[in-house]
Amino acid sequence: MNEIVKITLADDEVLFRKGVLFMLEREKNIEIVFEASNGEELLTYLNDNQENLPDIILMDLKMPLLNGVEATKKVHKKFPAIKIIALTSYDTKPFIINMIQEGACSYLVKNASPNDMIHTINEVASKGFYYNDLIMSIIQEGLIFGTKKTKSSFDEEYLTTREKEILELVCQQYSTNEIADILFISPRTVDGHRNNLLLKTESKNIAGLVVYAIQNDVVNLKNITNRI
């Protein structure tokens, strides 16, 4: 990626936070705009610095004063354009499900490699979300937003053929430009269809759109798995 990605890190573990910041500062396309030791400190910064908001927040779950889940809710409500990557030592389904439900665009465990972290950040920055095989399997099980919807709850004619094509490519984690090249249309047209999809499915962001598509069997999960 060539565009600068603005990052804020919220984590109460000082040694871990400084280590992550040191690593990220070495990346040419990443700029650290703020580091917070808890959710309250994070929200104060966002409210006071709306001219310099981050593109992505790396959000720890367990923090004093205001934990990562509650902070994610508040950030998502007031600053919906900011993408949140959960960065935590918890890797069990309940924690993953909770953060995805609150709008997290990805979920990264703290024992991940530096390359995994950089890759996740760049994927979220360019495509709006990044779900690995574990998260995709949890979505497939219908564990996000309750039980899996039945076929009868989704009208096959609700989405146009082109919208379904774009939705499947979004779920395969292609970027806007890649989708435009594949379908021989302009990136602006892709954005238009994607915005229509968000409205029609009442999804808050691209991550929510992917959850909707998989749990309503709108896309072929086998194709998505192969792409990942």
Amino acid at position 115, single letter: N
Domain boundaries, the chain: 5-130, 151-227
Asked if 9 and 23 touch (Cβ cutoff 8 Å), the reply is no
User: Side by side, which strands form the sheet with 106-109?
Assistant: 30-36, 5-10, 56-59, 83-88, 106-109
In whole angstroms, give the CA distance from residue 210 to residue 228. 14
For residue 59, give the DSSP letter.
E
pTM over 0.85: no
Asked if 130 and 123 touch (Cβ cutoff 8 Å), the reply is yes
In whole angstroms, give the CA distance from residue 192 to residue 56. 23
Asked if 35 and 61 touch (Cβ cutoff 8 Å), the reply is no
Q: Are strands 106-109 and 83-88 parallel, antiparallel or unpaired?
A: parallel
Asked if 62 and 84 touch (Cβ cutoff 8 Å), the reply is no
Q: What are the pLDDT tens digits along the chain (228 aa)?
A: 468 999 999 999 999 999 999 999 999 999 999 999 999 999 999 999 988 899 999 999 889 889 988 999 899 888 988 999 999 888 777 888 888 888 888 999 888 899 999 999 999 998 888 888 777 777 777 655 554 444 434 455 678 888 888 888 888 878 888 999 999 999 899 888 888 888 888 777 787 788 778 777 776 655 555 454
For residue 149, give the DSSP letter.
P
In whole angstroms, give the CA distance from residue 113 to residue 133. 16
The values of phi and psi at residue 31, to 5°, are -125, 125
CATH number of 5-130: 3.40.50.2300
Topology (CATH level 3) of domain 151-227? Arc Repressor Mutant, subunit A (1.10.10)
